[in-house]
Amino acid sequence: MLIGVIADDFTGASDIANTLVKGVAPEGGLKTAQFCGIPTGEIGDGIEAGVISLKSRTAPVEDAVSESLAALEWLLSQGCKQIVFKYCSTFDSTPAGNIGPVADALAKALDAKGVVVCPAFPGTGRTIYQGHLFVGDRLLNESGMQNHPLTPMTDPNLSRVLRRQTASSVGLVPLAQVQAGGATLQRAFESATERFLVADAVADADLLRLGQALCSATLITGGSGIALGLPRNFHQAGLAGAQDVEAEATVSGPEAILAGSCSGATRGQIEEHEQAHPTLAIDVPGVMEGTVTEDTLLEFYRANQGKAPLAYSAGKPDAVAEIQARFGRKAVAHRLDALFANVARALVRAGYRRIVVAGGETSGAVAQAVAEALNVSAMVVGREIDPGIPILTLGEEVPVTLALKSGNFGASDFFAKALTMMEGAP
């Protein structure tokens, strides 16, 4: 493998895997596989980029660091020349969060300095200017992320957030320096005395300049956008081959949509979907009290097979806060993850072939359950549904397709479109 990615959640892993598969014209991307957790043993089939999906974003710091270092060890054993630590493009991490400690541990293990920190993803409205993260035309802390139920972001200054999480030095590569590009930008990283450098980026062109300047970097951190220009470096060095994502197999068969995200974007997508398709609002207090079980959801899916049925636990911030106050935030998250995982496992065993998931934690639970049900760990990354969301295929003889959507990603018609594209439609 050429590039190894350590992703702190499953939707983020799919996001960056999608970026690596696409690359940029004329060279294109890399043949990429996404893994549910840390694989064991060797991989084959000419995989050029491997993305390890962890659930470390909200894990205890010690667990997040140890899992990330174990992932690093496996990726290095596969011959990876460059390591990317992928986190969310909204940098969602509390002051006691894991981005700083994990990045620090990886940097020390690789003896790396001048490590870029760049969660920018202009294609989805995430940009960085003077070290401040914007979502569209709003600062991060005014974008709705301040209300995130698990990782509320109340400070848009990435350097300041990172300094609360690590004792390592943090510098800034301002936009003018990024846009100068070339050898000047490359020297800024290679001669840096700081451990980390937050890099401005307001357009894809800035990410491509960063990618070129980071051609010799052993460690890179950021959102999926930072990987945009990385495949080109390996193509130009003659180390990567051509690949065609359009040639991937398509799948027909029973379908289900599971939504655990509470983001405004996901709630809007649910409202759009329910105009023409059956939906089930999951009674979360009922789940906590045991009156709503996986059988409740399975009965709903069976009754509406062929109609793109969607079950969701999404709610508005005040309703979510009320439920969390009543039952405990971690307890609610754990119970819902378990519910979605058990439902997904049962769906696969019942012959369901197309599963769409919304929400980072939900996606992690579902992807792991599906992989366990099929006894596989690798997911082949295929066509892009919407920016940052590819089709993932698990298994060979009777393949199952997944689409793992981060809460804020996807067009308003994402759910129906994803199911249609899994069958091979344009």
Which structural domains are found in the chain, ordered by start? Answer: 3-243 (3.40.50.10840), 246-422 (3.40.980.20)
What does the pLDDT read at residue 43?
77
Per-10-residue mean pLDDT, the chain, length 426: 94 90 90 90 81 90 96 96 92 80 97 96 90 87 66 80 93 96 93 96 97 97 96 94 63 94 88 97 95 97 97 85 90 93 96 94 90 88 88 88 89 96 86
Sign of the torsion angle spanned by Cα atoms 408, 409, 411, 415: negative
Helix axes 61-77, 99-110, angle to 10 degrees: 40
What does the pLDDT read at residue 128? 95
How confident is the model at residue 42, as a pLDDT?
73
Q: How far apart are CA 403 and CA 390, in angstroms?
A: 6
Count of CB atoms situated within 10 Å of the CB of 290: 8
Q: pTM (2 decimals)?
A: 0.81
Query: Can you say how many angstroms the Cα of residue 43 is from the centroid of all Cα atoms in its chain?
Result: 22
- Please give the pLDDT value at position 213: 97
pLDDT of residue 65: 97
Q: Distance between CA 47 and CA 298 in Å, rounded?
A: 36
> For residue 426, what pLDDT is reported?
74
